[in-house]
Structure formats: C-alpha cells, structure tokens
C-alpha cells in the first residue's frame, strides 16, 4: 500500500507530488500519456527532439515544474496507464489500472487531477473527417509537430483559439480565418466587471493582445460576431458555413478546429460517488471540494480542471494546496505552507472569472438540426432524442432517455454527449442543469480489453 | 377515492399487470417512486431462459427446482405472443439457447437435467460438442456438450416495461411516476395507501393492492408486520463493444455461472448471477435505493468463464459493468399471489422475474379478476409460506 496515488501528470498532479514527496510520502503518479506534462505541456515522444519546444514565456513555470518532476527519482511514475476504476475500501482506496502498468493499486490517499477535455459541440456536419476539437489540433502540433490540415478554420467562443492560431502560424500553417460568435461589444461587456481584478495577472491578457496583433500582421481574418452554422463536404470537410452580418457565408477548409469550452474530467469522482455540480460556463460536472481540495469522500482530493476549468496556473496552485493538505492530513510536514499556496490561488481568480465570462458560449451556442447526431458512438440524432424525451415524464433523468434510445451507450459512455443531453432535459423542464440527474458513471472509465482483465 | 386495484411499482411486472387489469375494465392506478422501468426490470441482462437454471442444480438447492419448468413452459408461450399482443417490436429473439458443458461432470449434470426436463414436457435436447459448434462455430474446442432448447433467447429489457405501460394507459390505467409509497395499511375491507408526489402527500384507498416492488417487497411487507421470505440478490452485468453478429442464441453454462448473448446492436452482454456488494446504511442494513458496488474479483471471474467457452471475447473490450438488485425466495421459486395473512395484498417476486414477469403479471391479474388463484401457478403461491405469519398481527 502506498501513501499517495496521483491521477494525472499535468501541472496539478506535479505540483502536488512536489509536496507529498517533499514530506516523505510514497507517491505514485498515473497518467495516460507516456511522459508527464498533461495536455498543456503535451510532450513529444522521448526519441523526438523538438527545438524550441513550448518556448513561450507563459509556459516557463510549467516547464520548470516538469523538469523537477522528471528528475525526481522518488516519484513512481506510471505512464501509458488509465485508471479504469476507483473504490473506497475501509480506510483506503483501490484503483484498477489498465494499459502499460495494469493491475490494482492500493493507496491511503488519492488525488484526482485528471484535467479536462474539449467539449464536443453537436452542429450540422460536426462528425465529418477534418472537423476537430481545438485541443486535438493543438495536441498534434505540440506532441507530433503535425498540422492537422490546411487551410484550417478556427471557430468557437473560446479565446484559446487565438493562442492556437498563433501556434499554427508559427508552424507555417495556412489559417483561413478565426470565427468567434461573440461581438466585440458583447465580449467587452462580459469581461469589463473582471478587468480591474485581472490586472494583477496581466500575462495572459498581454498574450491575447499579442496574438491578435500577430493574426493581423499575418492577414488572418479575425471575425468577431461571425456565428458558425455548420460543416459541409462530400465524405470529408470541404467548407465551413457561418452567418456574418445577416448573410450566410462559406469558407473553404480542409480542417476546422472547434472550441466552445472544456469539460472537467469527472468520470472517476462520479464513479466513486464524490459530490459534483454543473460547471460554468461551458457545462459538464466539476467536483466539489473545500479550500484544501478535499472532495466529499474522506481521503479523496481533487485539483485542477477536475474541480472546474480554470487554466494551468490555477491547476498548479491547486495541486500544491492538495499536496500540502494530503501531507498535513497524513500527519507529516510538507515543504510549503498552506496559507501562501491558498493566497497564490486566490490571486488568480479575477483572471479566471474574466476568461470564463469571455469564453461563455451561453447566447452564441451553435444550433443543431433534427438530423444532427448528438451521440456519435451510437449514431443517435437530435430528432431521436427529442422523440424519446417527448414520450417520457418531464421528470425523467438522463439515464431514462439513454435506456430508451441508446444515447451515451457506446464506446465513450457519454463523455461526448451527456452534457448536451443534460442541457436539453434542463431546457425542456425549465430548470437548471444542476437539477438533472446525469448518467451513472460505472466501471470502467475507459474501455478495457477483456484479455487484460482476465489476465 | 377508492380504486379497485392499486399497483405499487412501475417495473415490468407492475406495468404488465396494469395492462391486464385495465383490459378487464378495472382501471387500476399504478404508482412508481422513480421512473418507469428504473429498477431491476431495466437493469437485468434480458435472458429468456427456460431450461432449468444452474442455480437450481447447485449443491444445497431445493429439490423442488424442477417445478420451475411448469412455469417456464407457460412463459415460452407468453413471450411468443407478446409482440403481437402489444402491437410493437420488442427485440424479442427466441432462436434457441445452449447450456454448455466443459467437463465430464458437467455432461453428467446436463444429461440428468435434460432427462428431468423431458419428463416434465420441456423438449430440451442433448448435443455433442461438435453439434454445439455447428450452431456456434466460435465455441471453444473443449466445450464437450450442450443442452439445446429451441425457443430460448433474449429480449431488450430497456423497452419492454414501457410497452406495457403505454398499452395500460391506452386501456384506461392511471400511471404516476415520481410517486412514492409512504405507508400502506389495512382499512376495513380494503387498503389505505399514503403517497408522496412532488412534496404533496395524499391518501388512496383500494380493494386490492399489488406490491410489484421487486427487491423492496420484503421490506415494505415487513413494515406492515408481514414476513415474506425474499432475500436480496445484488448482481452485476457487463457489456462489450460491438461486433458483427455471430451469436443468435442465449448461452448458459451448467457448471459455472454464465449467461451471454449478443444484442441487436452487436454488443455482447455477459452476466449469469455474479454477486455485487450492496451499499450499507449506518445500521449495517443494505441500502435498497443505492446501486451496489462492483466486486472486481467477480467481474474477472465472470469474464473468464465467458471467454473460456467463447475465446473470441478476449479480443473485445469491456465498455461498462453495472449492478442491480433483485431478490430470491427461500426455495428459489417465485412467490406469487395473495398473502394469506393480508387479504387483498398481492405479491410476485423471488427470481427470474424478467423471464417470468409477463406470465406472472397475467396470472396476478387473473387472481384479482377471477377472485381465485389460477391453478397453473398454485405451486408458487405465497400461501406456501403462510406459516411464517402464524404469529403476526398485521397492522
């Protein structure tokens, strides 16, 4: 039995490990990637030297933490491994692992710092090959130095698109346009209340301004108030349709990167029954925790995007808090003090609020048509889901809809479509998504080869 | 308001009983604490097993197990007519079922089982391993025999109760979801129920009450001072990713716990009576409302049994394991009909309630309509446990 299992090798998990290792606690870190870094510092394969990789100033603290993590021989690193199951047994936890380091792992305390994933957004043509999430396009770029396709159109409400656009330009890609549905005026009104507070963490704001200047210099149309309608093409993406000043416009593209926000990874907290709540602004389920990152399950801690999407700096701060809390709760002394770590996290909040307000897809959500697939694993359309809902009591939960039309019953087990279904049920009922009972998360959190289970 | 019949529970049994009673003009009222089909009716693995199940052959099982064949024969006819009666497709497949043997001991058990079934009029046939592989070429080479029953199969548990509920409403039944029974007690010649719906508490009177409440039945009865020998059976099931159709039959095993079938969508559903672990309340009693925990060793064992007879499963992925609760009676046979110590109170529970549900719902409805227990199910009457209530003063 180990003292600490950390699920996720991103900034939160790494920062927590500094504290638990420093306090002398045996610590195992599990991640689906072969190397630590998380999505923000998604590393190239070890045999793959990339000159000037992630050189930006904003990435500097993250790179320093990553170097410390990789150099720390006390850390039991288990890459290429998924956590498929988590259970609490008496006073400890049992994790069921799958992949490179399969088997079970017993730990006295567990930190889930599993990050977030791109919110899939169902709109006409979204399942055409060539239509990708912004995160996927960025991962290909960071880890494999591959441009997903060009010309590429970036679209959605999330300012990450600006960062991605500059990274694509740096890689020499032809960026056809950046389409954001918010008008300048709307975005300005949304962010204004947070601007004064965010001025204490000016880095990301300066970066956003620099990114826009860079796009302008490169001649990339940056269109605020352009509302994406859908994707067309014969067997693969050929063009993106959008509404601009009351007219439908079409722009040719071989690839599209979509970003309306991110969903917290909450499969494991939900599987073990930790309290979650509807995340704002994009949706999905974030894990509830106290000021020391303790979840509602004794001995289970959460940090980073799992607790609500707030970016890598917040993840790093929360991971540090969780690491300190785990050490203190275990009765040993961590290297850093709790109060300072909590203050560091608190300073970030105004910028997080600003970013959330700027990225809010609330009023600019793309419209699905009845034929649009909501569940792409099982090919279930909006019309099928609506027809099923119409036959059920208005109080029916997400599982009741699922059992009748198979939405969410495929390989991804609802990771892709559950948020959209919950939103639809809430809209039909006229209630908050928080009031809708979502799917029940079950073992395994990822599909596992049966061969591997049997052994 | 006094109802002729009040049904507690909107699973397969309750909805089907509501339909039969409504068609007879009794306008039943059904209340369901959550949603239609939210319990075991929608969570079971959907087997239509009509051979004597392995559980009746396990050491220590009652010798009366073979009696189930009498019900199973009736259930075959019940299922065969359902899609026509309900006028809608229900994913019912009765293409046959194989109960497999992997050893000499299995074969001996299988032979005696088939002889007993044939005596009781169930046309099971003993097949060699080669004959079984003619039917399912992917069966493992060491499978050395099988009992074949041509009308076994599987159905889709996710849609059946809805179909009954829909038909029941169309015939005049009133079905209310999110309506929880708070209290039930005898009142003159009938029953009075206290019901909570959306924070509103109301009472209803009924001449007859059906507890179609699955694994909650014993606890609800206990609150009324009645002893019903039904014991919790928390189970687990698993499903794989999809694969091209290759298995039109139900697969069971005579020597190990296994049920396996391929759904219309191509997924393999694997179960067979492996236990899950109920969550516990503060006093240690099982929490009947919370989903049981998966038992990893049982999952591994269940999948190993499945892959042992069907090695191609090793190439598939598990996408979900789930748990649900049912209950089993003291002698493993269903407990059906009026509770002698509580005239007007009817139950049906105790094992195989998906396979037997449509039949037993019809029989319960007949018990009420005809004011007498149908002779076909007399062996399974709740009256056989009447002695348990000899010292009870029902409240």
Give the tens place of pLDDT for each residue, A280-305.
Answer: 888 999 999 999 999 999 999 999 99
- Are residues A416 and A389 both part of a single domain? yes
A345 pLDDT band, cuts 50/70/90, is very high
Give residue ranges of A with CB < 8 Å to any B CB: 85, 87, 94, 96, 104, 378, 391-393, 395-397, 399-400, 403-404, 406, 410-411, 413, 440, 442-444, 447-451, 453-455
Chain B nearest CA to A83, separation (Å):
14
Q: CA dihedral in degrees (A450, B42, B326, B333; nearest 10)?
A: -110
Contact B299 A453 (CB under 8 A): yes
| Contact across the interface for B316 and A396, Cβ inside 8 Å | no
Verify whether the Cβ–Cβ distance B318 to A396 is below 8 Å: no
Beta strands in A271-365 (DSSP E): 276-278, 285-287, 300-302
Which of A450, A451, A455 to mutate to probe the B interface, most B CBs <10 Å?
A450
C-alpha torsion B358→B363→B366→B370, nearest 10: 180
Is the ipTM value over 0.90, yes or no? yes
Whether A450 sits inside 8 A of B313 (CB atoms) is yes
Is residue A126 domain-resident? no
Domains and CATH numbers, chain B: 2-42+159-230+331-389 (3.50.50.60), 52-154+231-329 (3.30.9.10)
Find the CB nearest A453 among B178, B241, B318. B318
Do residues A141 and A233 share a domain?
yes
Task: Report chain B residues whose CB lies below 8 A from the CB of A413.
Answer: 319-320
Alpha-carbon span B355 to A18, nearest angstrom: 57
| 3-class SS of residue A216 | helix
Radius of gyration for chain A, computed over Cα atoms and rounded to the nearest angstrom:
22
CA angle B278/B281/B283 to nearest 5° reads 125
Q: Using one digit for the tens of pLDDT, what is the confidence trace for B63-84?
A: 677 889 999 999 999 999 999 9
Is there a contact between A395 and B35 if contact means CB atoms under 8 Å apart?
Answer: yes
Residues A221 and A285 in one domain: no
Q: Is the pLDDT confidence value at B62 over 70?
A: no
| Domain identity same for A224 and A152 | yes
Q: Is the domain of A164 the same as that of A212?
A: yes
The count of structural domains within chain A is 3
> How many C-beta atoms surround the C-beta of residue A435 within 10 A?
13
Give chain B positions within 8 Å (CB) of A400: 35-38
> H/E/C letters for each residue in B19-36?
HHHHHCCCCCEEECCCCC
| Same-domain pairing of A201 and A285 | no
Neighbours of A258 (CB within 10 A): 28
- Out of B241, B291, B303, the one facing A440 most closely (by C-beta) is B291
Q: What is the pLDDT of residue B63?
A: 66
For residue A184, is it within any domain?
Answer: yes
| Contact by Cβ (8 Å): B248, B265 | no
User: CA of B100, closest CA in chain A: separation in Å?
Assistant: 20
My answer on whether A136 and A232 are in the same domain is yes
Q: Which of B177, B299, B317 sits opposite A449 (nearest CB)?
A: B317
In whole angstroms, give the CA distance from residue A61 to residue A52.
16
In a domain, A125, yes or no: no
Tens digit of each residue's pLDDT (9 = 90 or more) over A191-237: 777 877 776 666 777 777 888 899 999 999 999 999 999 999 999 99
B299 touches chain A (CB under 8 A): yes
Express each pLDDT in A354-384 by its tens digit: 888 888 888 788 999 999 999 999 999 999 9
For residue B285, the model assigns a pLDDT of 94
A393 within some domain = yes
What is residue A42's predicted lDDT score, i.e. its pLDDT?
74
If asked whether residues A377 and A423 sit together in one domain, one would say: yes
Give the per-residue pLDDT at A142: 83
Please give the residue range of the domain that contains residue A188. 131-260
Residue A352 inside a domain? The answer is no
Contact list, B179 vs chain A (CB under 8 Å) = none
Nearest CA in chain A to B314: A451
Gap between the Cα atoms of A145 and B51, Å rounded: 60
Min distance B260 CA to chain A CA atoms (Å): 14
C-alpha–C-alpha distance, residues B234 and B291, integer Å = 9
Dihedral sign, CA of A255, A259, A265, A271?
A: negative
Q: What is the nearest CA distance from B322 to chain A, expressed in angstroms?
A: 6
CA–CA gap between residue B142 and residue A225 (Å, rounded): 67
Residue A364, in any domain of the structure = no
Q: Does A358 reside within a domain? A: no
Among chain A residues, CA nearest to B308: A454
Please indicate, yes or no, whether residues A154 and A205 belong to a single structural domain of this protein.
yes
Are residues B314 and A410, on separate chains, in Cβ contact within 8 Å? no
Contact status, residue B270 vs residue B354, Cβ threshold 8 Å? no
Both A160 and A223 in one domain: the answer is: yes
- Is A240 in the same domain as A269? no
Q: Which residues of A touch B322 (CB under 8 A)?
A: 440, 442
From CA B352, how far away is CA B349, in angstroms rounded? 8
- pLDDT over threshold 80, residue A245: yes
- Residue B285 makes CB contacts below 8 A (sequence gap 6+) with none
Angle at B176 between CA B223 and CA B336, to 5 degrees: 50
**What is residue A363's predicted lDDT score, i.e. its pLDDT?**
79
Say whether pLDDT at A58 is over 90.
no
Q: Is any Cβ of chain A less than 8 angstroms from the Cβ of B304?
A: yes
Check CB contact under 8 Å for B321 and A378: no
Residues near B121 by beta carbon (within 8 Å), at least 6 away in sequence: B69, B73
What are B236's strand-pairing partners? B323
Cβ–Cβ under 8 Å, residues A360 and A281? yes
Query: What's chain A's average pLDDT?
Result: 92
Q: What is the pLDDT of residues B369-387, one digit of tens each?
A: 999 999 989 999 999 999 9
Residues 309-348 of B with CB under 8 A from A: 313-322
Q: Which CATH number is A156's domain given?
A: 3.50.50.60
Provide the b/e sequence for B314-350 (b: ≥16 CB within 10 Å).
Answer: bebbbbbbbbbbbbbbebbbbbbbbbbbbebbbbbbb
| Paired tokens of B223 | 């609150």
| pLDDT for the residue A341 | 96
Please, is B81 exposed, middle or buried when counting C-beta atoms within 10 Å of its C-beta (0-12, 13-18, 19+)? exposed
Strands A103-112 and A300-302: parallel
Of A283, A313, A336, which residue is a domain's last? Answer: A336
Q: Which of B270, B290, B267 is nearest to B278 (CA)?
A: B290
Closest CA to B66 of B24, B138, B124: B124
| A324 domain-assigned | yes
pLDDT of residue A394: 84
| pLDDT of B31 over the 80 cut | yes
| Beta-carbon separation of B300 and A392 below 8 A | no
d(CA B300, CA B318): 11
B314 closest CB neighbour out of A104, A393, A450: A450
Nearest-CA distance B124 → chain A (Å): 32
> Distance between CA A416 and CA A439 in Å, rounded?
12
Please report the beta strands in A173-261, taking only residues with DSSP state E, as ranges in sequence order: 175-180, 222-224, 227-232, 239-244, 247-252, 255-258
| Domain final residue pick, A260, A278, A310 | A260
Domain end call among A260, A294, A322? A260
Asked whether residue A182 falls in the same domain as residue A225, the answer is yes
């Amino acid at each position: 039995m180990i003292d600490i299992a950390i699920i996720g090798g991103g900034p939160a998990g790494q920062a927590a490990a500094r504290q638990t290792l420093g306090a002398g606690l045996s610590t195992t870190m599990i991640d689906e990637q072969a190397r630590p870094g998380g999505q923000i510092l998604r590393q190239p394969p070890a045999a793959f030297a990339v000159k000037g990789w992630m050189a930006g100033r904003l990435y500097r603290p993250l790179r320093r933490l990553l170097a410390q993590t990789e150099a720390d021989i006390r850390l039991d690193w288990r890459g290429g491994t998924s956590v498929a199951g988590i259970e609490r047994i008496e006073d400890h936890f049992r994790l069921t692992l799958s992949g490179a380091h399969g088997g079970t792992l017993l730990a006295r305390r567990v930190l889930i710092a599993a990050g977030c994933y791109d919110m899939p957004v169902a709109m006409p043509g979204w399942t055409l090959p060539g239509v990708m999430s912004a995160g996927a396009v960025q991962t290909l770029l960071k880890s494999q130095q591959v441009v997903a396709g060009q010309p590429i159109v970036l679209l959605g409400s999330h300012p990450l698109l600006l960062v991605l656009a500059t990274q694509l330009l740096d890689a020499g890609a032809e960026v056809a346009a950046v389409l954001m549905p918010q008008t300048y005026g709307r975005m300005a009104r949304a962010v204004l209340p947070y601007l004064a507070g965010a001025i204490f963490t000016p880095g990301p704001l300066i970066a956003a301004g620099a990114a826009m200047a860079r796009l302008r210099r490169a001649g990339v149309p940056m269109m605020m108030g352009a509302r994406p309608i859908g994707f067309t093409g014969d067997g693969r993406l050929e063009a993106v349709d959008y509404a601009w000043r009351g007219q439908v416009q079409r722009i040719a593209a071989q690839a599209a990167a979509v970003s309306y926000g991110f969903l917290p990874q909450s499969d494991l907290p939900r599987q073990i029954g930790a309290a979650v709540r509807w995340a704002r602004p994009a949706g999905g389920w974030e894990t509830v925790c106290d000021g020391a990152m303790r979840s509602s399950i004794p001995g289970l801690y959460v940090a980073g995007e799992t607790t609500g999407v707030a970016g890598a700096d917040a993840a790093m701060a929360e991971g540090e808090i969780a690491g300190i809390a785990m050490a203190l709760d275990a009765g040993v002394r961590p290297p850093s003090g709790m109060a300072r770590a909590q203050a560091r996290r608190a300073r970030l909040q105004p910028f997080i609020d600003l970013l959330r307000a700027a990225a809010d897809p609330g009023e600019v959500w793309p419209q699905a048509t009845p034929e649009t697939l909501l569940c792409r694993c099982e090919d279930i359309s909006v019309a099928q889901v609506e027809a099923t809902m119409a036959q059920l009591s208005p109080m029916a939960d997400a599982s009741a809809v699922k059992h009748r039309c198979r939405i969410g019953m495929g390989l991804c087990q609802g990771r892709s479509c559950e948020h959209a279904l919950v939103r639809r049920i809430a809209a039909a009922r006229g209630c908050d998504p928080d009031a809708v009972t979502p799917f029940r998360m079950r073992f395994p959190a990822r599909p596992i080869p049966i061969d591997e289970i049997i052994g | 308001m006094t109802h002729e019949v009040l049904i507690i529970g909107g699973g397969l049994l309750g909805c089907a009983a509501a339909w039969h009673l409504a068609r007879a003009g009794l306008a039943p009222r059904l209340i369901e604490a959550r949603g239609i089909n939210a319990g075991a009716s929608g969570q079971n693995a959907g087997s239509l097993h009509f051979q004597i199940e392995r559980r009746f052959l396990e050491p220590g099982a009652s010798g009366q197990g073979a009696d189930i064949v009498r019900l199973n024969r009736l259930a075959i006819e019940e299922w065969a007519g359902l899609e026509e009666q309900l006028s809608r497709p229900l994913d019912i497949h009765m293409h046959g079922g194989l109960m497999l043997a992997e050893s000499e001991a299995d074969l001996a058990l299988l032979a005696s089982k088939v002889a007993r079934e044939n005596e009781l009029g169930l046309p099971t046939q003993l097949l060699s391993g080669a004959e079984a592989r003619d039917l399912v070429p992917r069966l493992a080479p060491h499978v050395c025999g099988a009992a074949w029953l041509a009308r076994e199969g599987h159905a889709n548990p996710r849609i059946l109760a809805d179909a009954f509920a829909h038909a029941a409403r169309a015939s005049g039944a009133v079905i209310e979801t999110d309506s929880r029974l708070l209290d039930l007690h005898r009142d003159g010649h009938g029953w009075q129920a206290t019901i909570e719906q959306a924070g509103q508490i109301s009472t209803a009177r009924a001449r007859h009450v059906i507890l179609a409440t699955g694994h909650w039945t014993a606890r609800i009865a206990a609150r009324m001072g009645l002893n019903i020998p039904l014991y919790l059976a928390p189970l687990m099931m698993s499903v794989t990713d999809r694969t091209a159709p290759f298995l039109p039959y139900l697969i069971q095993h005579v020597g190990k716990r296994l049920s396996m079938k391929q759904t219309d969508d191509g997924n393999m559903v694997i179960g067979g009576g492996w236990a899950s672990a109920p969550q516990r309340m503060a006093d240690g009693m099982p929490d009947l409302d919370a989903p049981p925990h998966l038992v990893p060793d049982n999952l591994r064992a269940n999948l190993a049994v499945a892959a042992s007879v069907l090695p191609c499963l090793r190439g598939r992925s598990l996408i979900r394991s789930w748990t649900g609760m049912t209950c089993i009676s003291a002698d493993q046979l269903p407990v059906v009909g009026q509770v002698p110590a509580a005239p007007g109170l009817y139950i049906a529970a105790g094992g195989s309630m998906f396979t037997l549900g449509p039949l037993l719902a019809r029989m319960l409805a007949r018990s009420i309509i005809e004011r007498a227990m149908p002779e076909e199910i007399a062996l399974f009457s709740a009256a056989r446990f009447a002695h348990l209530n000899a010292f009870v003063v029902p409240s």
